[in-house]
Structure 1
């Protein structure tokens, strides 16, 4: 497993900062509407219909702005693109307000001059706030805050150009640790003043031992096989991997390429839980888990008594597993087996008619009631309600050698239930094929995550995820 990655103060609080940015935009929409009324009509007290219009405007901003991805990370991205999307989002919001006023025949009750001033002042303040925010973030990154430690794979033409552009753009907050390249002539002569860290075969070991946030692959498209070899070598890590393709002069059809420091960057392996997604997921987990624990608290007490009476030993079973970014976490379950000791490094999955499982424990496992204490893990921030199921450390060590992209499951927090579980892949994985299917569903969930997808999985879990023929 790779060490815990760095990221600085801003990354550690990215979710909170993103939530503050949402609130700031809503505040700007409301306040500029009120100021427009004061400036144009000369009164500070708003009539009821104008107050209602401001509320609708704030709600429109809350719904429409995220659709234009204005809350995504803009590190190194073009300023004009950000301003364009903000302008479009605010314009659509105002069009929605005008449409509502027209359909409800309320337009005559509002001043056109007020609406025009609100539209212009709201746009101006939103743009100004983004300019100030970008300037502040750039200032902080130049001074070492919110840095990302990166290594570059490829020290020839494209890699050199990438290093030069990043060096010339300190506001991007990228710290180059060095290069990896197989060319003998470059081993003693590092380009751009950065050290040569080794050959491509040394990359995996370096990433495992050092604190690296991102690996940037700067290689020609013709070296696809070498890129695949690098991805295979890094399959056990959770480091972000970015591919800088040599696409200049090519016309790409329906491809999305991020621009950082003026370079085209294609994300190959990143977590979806950034920015507003992280805030939404966190709120979903905390609110739902708290409500569920309040509702099921009498049941938890009854199960605890049943476990205590079923066999000697503790009520809870605690086991170390891998969580988000491969960090070790301690997962709680109601104990369903008699207390026993296994060999060091060995974890034997429960099988059908397993003699270690108590009669009461068998009932808990069939009904998935043994998983209920994991809602406390969710409140602790270690797990999510929905996500890939966490596996024992020994199982991870085994399967990561057998299944490519296995460790990519840890790009999100592990869950109590998941897409694989509601599709029947839960319980014992006694064959490699079963685990491959589970991983396939887990990766599909990560690639297609949304709040609605989570709610769908929770809904399906209620009807088909608790009781399953594979649970024993």
Structure 2
């Protein structure tokens, strides 16, 4: 489904439009939630590593040392965790309900672990592996593994219970639309504790009998225009649209408003007469959903990107520290004032962050709000400032922002909150401008290595920047980030628009 995104309202204006009730609910949900999918994945990794260590320790306890562990036996030690994890996944042992209430699932896990040991024993016999009669290895591995599962599942259960009561372990969802279709959806979902999704409220432009103030105990919090700001403040994960697919124009109108949010967007297929193949649907409990948009760089991908940022930002800080030290000394000698400069810029999800830069202007002429764009020959820029701006050395302190988690190494560049062209803010110049904030901004980016850096004095330049930013979000991968990092030094050769 394709469409042209509509123009967004200014963020401050949107904040003013959010009603008091919705703002209070959003404030109660402002803490960062723990992704159930990420938790399940983390538990699987922990159990796999623990079972691998248990296999090695069991062999060590029943033999003369690890030197006696041959390739065949090593393969069995590695296979045991893989078989066990797959079995636990098959019986639903990583669902939030299973992690919260360990008693119903623990006996099945222990039976599965026993079957795993039996499979390993059968494998050693089938492949005629020589174990010198040390069958105690399998017995020790079973006992240690069983003890681990009991202690681990009891501990995880206590933690999950605590996080659930604190409202942290959940996917936060909002229903877009009200009335009968929303009531049907809520009825079909049934017990709220049966899934990891929490329905936080309803948003609908209609009023009166067509959209009452409460549906099945879920309050209506405002209109769709208010939802955009609410979703950001409340850290919403999922939007469920309860409009019929036949209302195509209304659905497209909604998506034009909502696609800029870093959330999953789904349409409820309950009662939909138009049927697709089963693979076209995802499910929330028994409710079929049609997937429209997915949050970019989510789950394990977000952890992978964060690890990438920490490793490479640390290396960059070490390697570039002489350059940064010399730059700081030259700035200090060149003009009075602090070495570093802080500027308010848009970060992930439209949050305002403080971005660090080397000071390139005379201190008494500084412009922290970026009301006046720097132009060629700008008298506010110091001599050393001209050089570090043209070479982007002034951006190097942002590596600290990366380690703090405000920025990523690669992503859409963070723009100043008052950045404008021809007396218009950039979100007024470019349709769907805020969609570039669905991921963390970066020290460098796809737009920059394609020549779109420096002065933005025409609407076309900012449009092209945003176009490349959105391309990056769609194409993201670790190799893509590596490519952009490698090409960044070469892109600095072209300093035509960097003043």
Q: TM-score range by the shorter chain?
A: 0.7 to 0.9
Match of residue 276 from structure 2: 251
The match for 2:307 among 280, 283, 295 is 283
CA 204–331 in structure 1, closer or farther in 2 if over 3 Å, else same:
closer
Does residue 1:178 correspond to 2:201, yes or no? yes
* Deviation sequence 1:412-436 (CA, Å, 0-9, x none): 2211111111111111222222222
The 1:191/1:352 distance shift into structure 2, 3 A limit, reads same
Alpha-carbon offset, residue 55 of structure 1: 8.3
1:289-300 matched pairs, under 5 angstroms? 289-300=313-324
Q: Structure 1 residues 331 and 264 mapped into 2: Cα distance closer, same or farther (>3 Å)? A: same
Q: Deviations over 1:93-137 (max 9, x none)?
A: x9xxx9xxxxxxxx77667x99xx89x98xx99xx8999999778
Report if aligned partners of 1:138, 1:171 keep a CA contact under 8 Å in 2.
no
Deviations 1:300-336 (A, max 9, x none): 1111111123333221121011112222111111111
Residue 166 of structure 1 is aligned with which of 178, 189, 201? 189
From 28, 33, 36, give the equivalent of 2:51: 28
Contact 2:30 2:235 in 1 (8 A): no
Deviations 1:391-443 (A, max 9, x none): 00012892223323321222222111111111111112222222222112212
Q: Give 1:174 shift.
A: 3.1
1:430 aligns with 2:452: no
Please give the alpha-carbon distance, in whole angstroms, between the structure 2 residues aligned to 1:464 and 1:289: 19
Between the aligned partners of 2:338 and 2:164, the Cα distance in structure 1 is 53
Gaps of 5+ in 2: 1-10, 16-25, 99-111
* Segment drifting more, 216-225 vs 129-138: 129-138
Q: 1:149 to 1:20 in 2, by over 3 A?
A: closer
User: Quick check: 1:149–1:212 contact (8 Å CA) kept in 2?
Assistant: yes
Distance, in Å, in 2 between the alignment partners of 1:233 and 1:352 is 37
Mean CA deviation greater in 291-300 or 191-200: 191-200
Among 226, 248, 254, the residue aligned to 2:250: 226
Aligned equivalents of 2:237 and 2:372: distance in 1?
34
After superposition, the Cα gap between the structure-2 partners of 1:4 and 1:434, relative to the gap in structure 1 and judged at 3 Å, is farther
Provide structure 1 residue ranges, at least 5 long, that are not aligned to the other structure.
Answer: 78-86, 99-106
Residues 1:231 and 1:395: Cα distance change in structure 2 (over 3 Å): farther
Aligned to 1:443: 470
Match of 1:403 among 421, 430, 454: 430
1:393 aligns with 2:417: yes
Are the aligned partners of 2:243 and 2:268 in contact in 1 as well (CA < 8 Å)? yes
Aligned-residue CA RMSD (Å) = 4.7
Partner-residue secondary structure (3-state), 1:219: coil
2:403 is equivalent to residue 376 of structure 1: no
Cα distance in 1, alignment partners of residues 97 and 467 from structure 2: 33
Report if aligned partners of 1:26, 1:58 keep a CA contact under 8 Å in 2: no
Give the equivalent residue in structure 1 for 2:167: 145
**Equivalent in the alignment of 1:463:** 490
For the residue of structure 1 that corresponds to 2:247, the secondary structure is helix
Residue number in structure 1 paired with 2:325: 301
Q: In 2, Cα distance between the equivalents of 1:329 and 1:132?
A: 40
- Please give the alpha-carbon distance, in whole angstroms, between the structure 2 residues aligned to 1:455 and 1:342: 34
Partner residue in 1 for 2:372: 348
Task: After TM superposition, give the deviation of residue 140 of structure 1 in Å.
Answer: 6.0
| Greater Cα shift, 272-281 or 356-365 | 272-281
State how many pairs are aligned: 435
Q: Would the aligned equivalents of 1:6 and 1:213 in 2 still touch at CA under 8 Å?
A: no
Give the TM-score normalised by structure 1.
0.74
Residues 3-82 of structure 1: matches in 2 within 5 Å?
Answer: 6=29, 11=34, 19=42, 21-32=44-55, 43=63, 45-50=65-70, 54=74
Whole-Å Cα distance in 2 between the matches of residues 172 and 319 of structure 1? Answer: 42
Superposition deviation, residue 386 in structure 1:
0.9
- Pick closer, same or farther for the CA change 1:213–1:15 going to 2, 3 Å: closer
- Checking the alignment, whether the CA contact within 8 Å between 1:235 and 1:404 is kept in structure 2 is no
Distance in 2, Cα, partners of 1:134 & 1:275? 20
What does the per-residue CA deviation read over 1:36-66, in whole Å, with 9 as the maximum and x for residues that have no partner? x699xx648444543796489769999xx99
Corresponding position of 1:102: none
Give the structure-2-normalised TM-score.
0.70
Deviation at 1:347, TM superposition (A): 2.0
- Asked if the contact 1:235/1:406 (under 8 Å) is kept, the reply is no
Q: For residues 198 and 414 of structure 1, do their structure 2 counterparts lie closer, same or farther at Cα, with a shift above 3 Å needed?
A: closer
Which one of 218, 229, 236 corresponds to residue 194 of structure 1? 218
What's the CA shift string for 1:208-239, capped at 9, x where partnerless? Answer: 77775543211122223212222333467x46
Query: In 2 relative to 1, CA 365–459 (structure 1 residues): closer, same or farther, beyond 3 Å?
Result: same
Change (3 A) 1:241 1:310: same
